[in-house]
């Protein structure tokens, strides 16, 4: 962690142009502080004192505030840079959690599941649950209500807050926050089951391409009666797409659908059939 922090704070991106302190490392006495209610709310969410308050203020500052200070020599800073940092921290910690939780999942499934957890709509939902919209710092000339309920503004604020927590409390603090307010908020089992439900994915594919629903056919039964395995083929529009073999028909169907999805990711057999 020490080496990682040294590397990160040595980057120009994370350093103040006015000093050699890490980005947001000090709060100028003349800088506007966080509102007491906001500070109390953030400390409740993070479970720790917010010692570097200016970072948190920036995390909640919407870019519309900059419009109100155009032409001024010292303009406030919006949360866009912190959003960039928080996005990377969030991806890292969610990736690590999924990597440890599902050791048999390949890279594709891990990436897909991570995307379902940290997409913009999901992040906005997390922000709403944490009532971040009520604490956003918005320009007076902007539509306050529209921004406070905007998916984009809320998702940005959530990522920026993760970045602020990382800078203030380190990776452990960010991990604690994400475990409490992201991991516990999502049904990972449901997400993973949906990802591995190849039959559902194949149905979705057929519907989105205006094709008939897939048909599963037992093409062979192998082995003795007490240890029989089923070979099932799935087809769509009378075109065979894949086969699966398993002791249970449902499992064989899933395997057949998986083979079909892999094939459909690389080719379009329906297009080929039309041409022939």
CB 113 within 8 A of CB 195: yes
The alpha carbon dihedral of 119, 121, 124, 130 has a sign of negative
Say if residue 17 carries a ligand binding annotation: no
Active site residue 222: no
Say if residue 204 carries a ligand binding annotation: no
Please report which residue ranges of the chain form alpha helices under DSSP H. 2-9, 36-46, 53-59, 64-67, 80-101, 107-117, 120-129, 144-148, 151-181, 188-196, 198-208, 249-266, 269-275
Among residues 55, 64, 33, which one has the least CA distance to residue 152?
A: 64
What backbone torsions phi and psi does residue 104 show, to the nearest 5 degrees? -95, -5
d(CA 29, CA 50): 16
Active site residue 159: yes
Say if residue 159 carries a ligand binding annotation: yes
CB 72 within 8 A of CB 149: no
Catalytic option among 21, 72, 74, 159: 159
Angle in degrees, 0-180, between the axes of helices 36-46 and 151-181, rounded to the nearest 10: 40
- Cβ count near 102 (within 10 Å): 16
Burial class (CB in 10 A: 0-12, 13-18, 19+), 233: buried
Residue with tokens 């899933």: 254
- CA 10 remoteness from chain centre: 27
Annotated binding site for Mg(2+): 83, 156, 159
Residues annotated as catalytic are 87, 159
Annotated binding site: 83, 156, 159
């Amino acid at each position: 962690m020490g080496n990682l922090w040294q590397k990160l704070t040595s980057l120009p991106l994370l350093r103040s142009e006015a000093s050699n302190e890490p980005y947001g490392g000090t709060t100028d006495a003349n800088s506007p502080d966080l509102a007491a209610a906001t500070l109390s709310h953030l400390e409740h969410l993070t479970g720790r004192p917010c010692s570097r308050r200016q970072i948190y203020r920036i995390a909640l500052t919407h870019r519309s505030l900059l419009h109100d200070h155009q032409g001024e020599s010292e303009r406030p800073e919006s949360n866009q840079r912190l959003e960039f940092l928080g996005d990377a921290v969030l991806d890292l910690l969610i990736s690590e959690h999924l990597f440890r939780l599902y050791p048999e999942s390949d890279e594709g499934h891990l990436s897909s599941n991570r995307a379902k957890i940290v997409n913009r709509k999901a992040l906005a939902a997390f922000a709403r649950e944490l009532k971040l919209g009520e604490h956003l710092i918005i320009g007076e000339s902007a539509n306050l209500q529209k921004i406070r309920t905007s998916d984009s503004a809320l998702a940005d604020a959530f990522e920026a807050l993760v970045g602020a927590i990382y800078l203030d409390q380190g990776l452990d603090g960010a991990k604690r926050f994400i475990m409490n307010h992201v991991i516990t908020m999502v049904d990972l089992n449901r997400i993973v089951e949906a990802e591995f439900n190849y039959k559902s994915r194949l149905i979705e594919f057929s519907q989105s391409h205006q094709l008939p629903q897939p048909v599963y056919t037992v093409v062979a039964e192998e082995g003795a009666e007490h240890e029989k395995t089923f070979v099932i083929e799935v087809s769509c529009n009378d075109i065979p797409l894949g086969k699966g073999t398993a002791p249970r028909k449902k499992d064989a169907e899933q395997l057949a659908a998986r083979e079909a999805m892999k094939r459909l990711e690389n080719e379009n057999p329906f297009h080929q059939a039309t041409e022939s």
